[in-house]
Chain A
Amino acid sequence: MRIYTESSEETLRARKHLTQWTGDGSLSKEQYQRLEQDTVSGLRITNIFLRLVLFFFTMIGVAAAVALFFTIFLSRPSQQTTGIFLLIFAAVSYTAAEVAVTQARLYRYGIEEALAVCSVAFLCVGLDLFFFSGIPHSSREIQFVVPAVGAIASLWIWYRFNLWYAFPAAMIFAIFLPGYWTPSHSAQHVFISVLYAAGLICIAPIRSRHRFDYLEDAYSLSEAFLWLGIYLIFNLKISALSLPSQWWSNTRPASEFAVPFYWTTWVLIWCLPPLILARGVRQKDRLIIAVGAITTVLTLVTNKPYLGWQRHTWDPILLGIALTGVALFLRRWLALGPGGVRHGFTAARLSGKDKHAMSVGSAVLGLITPQSITPTPQPTNPDFRFDGGGSGGGGASGDF
């Protein structure tokens, strides 16, 4: 069912490990050259930059080709006709993606990814135009088919091509589903969270069978997205304003959340972060630990609005001190363990990959930080006002 063989995936994974270990100094250059021969794969691979650029140009090419087809061959087509042709283009795009992998042996090359993404987009728009254009508002209940098909198609792309971003795409499609069935926002939140929880229940046992193989990362990422999705759906201070079904239907919430539901979610946003963190620590899963940390911070940040308490300007200071304190305590506690290790965890850096990530991250963050934290200069204003602002200070003006 998967388009790449296990052997190919494992070989590429081994090759990546070899490069990393050689960079870290765990293997010598000679060993690398020798072992590299053992990780030769028939797949064509490239680096992240060319992958992104190839994705970009393939998207442009496909979109322009479809638009050109409509311009040349169909003058003022009906929506149903447009829908039919988009469905055909979805099939063509998907077939092209399959051919790009099976014949040209492309692997994370940008081209086959863009084709797969286009096929899902054409499928959803085509379905909507063909089946539901011109249908009166009362028939909206059956329009859930469009996001449902989008979610299923995205899941298929995720499974078949092992493209990580197709999984969150499926989760986003799923968010639109309950909006077609019920106007109750509480019910919508519950439905989506049940759907995500079902995903978790399905993934958990599958994951355990893929410990240390090439699928470990894919399932780890999916589980992390599901945990994050569940948290964001339950945190009403974040999700109530951003539920995409509300943008889609352009409607305001019909009613406020029921009081018991509201307080249940408050309890849940405090319960979920430790649960996620515990799961991440138990599984030694970096991504789930990261989600646990993010949700913890989000809970701390949104707690006051939840309770209706007033925010204070020094809240971020306290948060900063708390985060720094936790980091320092954990580092010290781990470092004081035998050999700098406690319960299988260490604060020491074991991989050059982390160092590289921090180097790139700090360079990028350094460029954007001044704009986000330093006040706007107001040199010509004689009245005193020390304004918080969006640019300047130690940083660049918007023009740079």
Chain B
Amino acid sequence: MHETLDAIKTTRYPPLAIPLAYRTIDQSIRKEVLNLNNSVDLSTDSGPVTPVVADFNGDGKLDLVTVDNAAPRPENERAMTILARLELWKEQGAISTEQQAHLASLSRGEPFSLSLELNLLLYAGVLAFVAGLGWTISTWSQQLGDVLVLTILSIILTASFWYCFSRAPAWSAAETAAPTPIFDYVLYLGSLVWCVELAYLENRFHVLSGQWDLYLLATALLFFFLAYRFDNRFVLSLALSSLAGWFGLTISHWPSHQDAAYRQYALLYSLLIGIAGAILQRLKLKSHFFTTYLNVAANVLFWAIVSGVFYSRDHGLWLVGLLIACAASLVWGLKRRQFAFVAYAAVYGYVGVSWMLLRNASDGTFILTYFVLTAIAMIVMLVQIARRFGRPE
């Protein structure tokens, strides 16, 4: 690696905490004498990090010091637990005494937060309750009678939504926290009971007989409204799922060519929610929802395209579409450091391209050679991506 000293000094690597950096010096370190009047290219090993410029050895000349990230650390280097590190950082003044105490207590689990467990318990409780409700109604509805069933469901529904609307803070386009710990779960309950009540109404009274998909559309719209009103990802997922159901049920009425129609509507669905998500993000309306939109859109899009590659007569066209989608997903993933999209591009792209290349192959040796070579190629490419972009996030 060649670096220009001026660049090192002035732009890329402003002088950092020299005592800390100096402390990390070990056998891997590289030192070079600086000549500040001229730019000089210096060689380092493959993984230089945290370069610091200072006169470390007191000879009156500036030294450039980097730690070699790629070099293995000595085996006998003393392991330092996180608690010991915190103590050291406090002594060095890198963190305050209060921070050290706070972070040490977090590391020791003092206090130990049961927030995640209690939330999961609430989620499981709501889910079990609604599942039991649906099961009971489906089994005993004739004995219970329509009035009683609808009254019970409506009371739960009304109470849930009343709770949510009465407790919710004023709407904001930014991310907002739930006003009470149980708020999200009451909203889940209301949303799920809405599904059960709607299904009961249709099955019992056939209000929109043959037009079941309209219920799904209405449900999707209601859930979108609730998700944006109360800033709730769970209900947003319910809305996206219901909208997908509406697309699916709408075309299930069609008598023929359903595979092709499903593919086209899947494409339409993914484009619709992808564009809608992007517009809403641009308008800064709950922009934190954008990831959910994008992940659902990407997966539906890839499934549709790969199914086109597999089953459509126009394999070539679908393959071109797949390659474009993979390139877009890859670029997006790398640019935004959202590596799920890199994974989608790699896996869906590999499956689709492999199918195209191997669909008529019958020679076992050729097929296996293909998998060996392409797997190696993918590994090399992904390792390069990982080395360049793929730090843990």
Q: Please determine whether A314 and B132 come into contact, CB atoms closer than 8 angstroms.
A: yes
A-binding segment of B3-11, B54-62, B247-255, B314-322: B247-255
Instruction: Please determine whether B138 and A375 come into contact, CB atoms closer than 8 angstroms.
Output: yes
Contacts of B237 in A (CB 8 A): 362-367
- Asked whether, in the complex, the Cβ of B379 is within 8 Å of the Cβ of A322, the reply is no
- Within the complex, what minimum Cβ distance (angstroms) separates A114 from chain B? 10
Q: How far is the CB of B281 from chain A (nearest CB, A)?
A: 16
Contact present for A400 and B269 (CB under 8 Å): yes
Cross-chain contact A316 with B110 (CB below 8 angstroms): no
The interface residues of chain A lying within 8 Å CB-to-CB of B117 are: 286, 289-290, 293
Bound CA span A177–B136, Å: 43
For residues 374 through 393 of chain B, which have their beta carbon under 8 Å from a beta carbon of chain A? 375-376, 378-379, 382-383, 385-387, 390-393
Interface residue ranges, B against A (CB under 8 Å): 16-17, 20-21, 23-24, 28, 47, 49-50, 67, 69-73, 75, 77-83, 85, 89, 94-95, 99, 102-103, 106-119, 121-142, 181-182, 184-185, 191-192, 194-196, 198-200, 202-204, 206, 208-212, 215-216, 219, 223, 232-238, 240-242, 244-245, 247-249, 252, 262, 266, 269, 292, 295-296, 300, 339-340, 342-343, 346-347, 350, 364-365, 368-369, 371-372, 375-376, 378-379, 382-383, 385-387, 390-393
How far in angstroms is the closest Cβ of chain B from A19? 8
A370: which of B114, B241, B339 is its contact (CB, 8 Å)? B241
Q: Do the beta carbons of A357 and B116 come within 8 Å of each other?
A: yes
Nearest B residue to A381 via CB reads B203
Q: How far is the CB of A343 from chain B (nearest CB, A)?
A: 9
- A397 within 8 Å of B (CB atoms): yes
Distance in angstroms from A40 CB to nearest chain B CB is: 6
Given known A-B contacts A313-B136, A386-B200, A38 and B23 have beta carbons under 8 A apart:
yes
Of the candidates B80, B113, B115, B199, the one whose C-beta lies within 8 Å of that of A377 is B199
| A-B contact list, 28 entries, CB within 8 Å | A9-B79, A49-B343, A53-B342, A53-B343, A61-B376, A67-B368, A212-B107, A316-B128, A317-B136, A325-B125, A327-B122, A334-B114, A345-B112, A351-B106, A362-B234, A366-B236, A366-B240, A370-B238, A370-B241, A373-B192, A377-B199, A379-B208, A394-B192, A394-B223, A394-B238, A395-B241, A395-B245, A399-B262
**Chain A residues closer than 8 Å to B219, beta-carbon distance:** 394
Give the docked Cα–Cα distance between A388 and B393 (Å).
Answer: 42
Taking the complex as formed, is A242 at the interface, i.e. its CB lies under 8 A from any CB of chain B? no
Give Cα A350–Cα B109 distance, bound, in whole angstroms.
Answer: 10
Closest CB pairs A-B (n = 5): A366-B237, A320-B129, A316-B132, A61-B375, A397-B248
Interface contact A320-B111, CB-CB below 8 Å: no
User: Once the chains are docked, how many angstroms separate the CA of A297 from the CA of B138?
Assistant: 24
- Neighbour of A40 across the interface among B16, B50, B140, B347, CB < 8 A: B50
Contact count A vs B, C-beta below 8 Å? 405
Q: Which of B69, B141, B248 contacts A400 (CB 8 A)?
A: B248
Interface string of A310-325 (1 = CB under 8 A from B): 0001111111111111
Contact B83 A212 (CB under 8 A): yes
Contact with B along A340-360 (1 / 0, CB 8 A): 010011111111001001110
B181 A331 Cβ-Cβ under 8 A: yes
CB pair B125 A327 closer than 8 Å: yes
A7-B78, A10-B82, A316-B135 are known; give 7 further A-B pairs, CB within 8 A: A38-B85, A47-B339, A50-B386, A111-B379, A214-B81, A358-B119, A365-B123
Interface of B is mostly: helix
Cα A183 to Cα B234 with chains together (Å): 48
Cβ contacts under 8 Å, A289 to chain B: 114, 117
A35 proximal to B (CB < 8 A): yes
| Inter-chain contact A374/B125, CB cutoff 8 Å | no
> With the chains together, A393 CA to B80 CA distance in Å?
55
Task: Determine if A314 and B136 form an interchain contact, defined as CB atoms under 8 angstroms apart.
Answer: yes
In whole Å, how far is B67's beta carbon from the nearest beta carbon of chain A?
A: 6
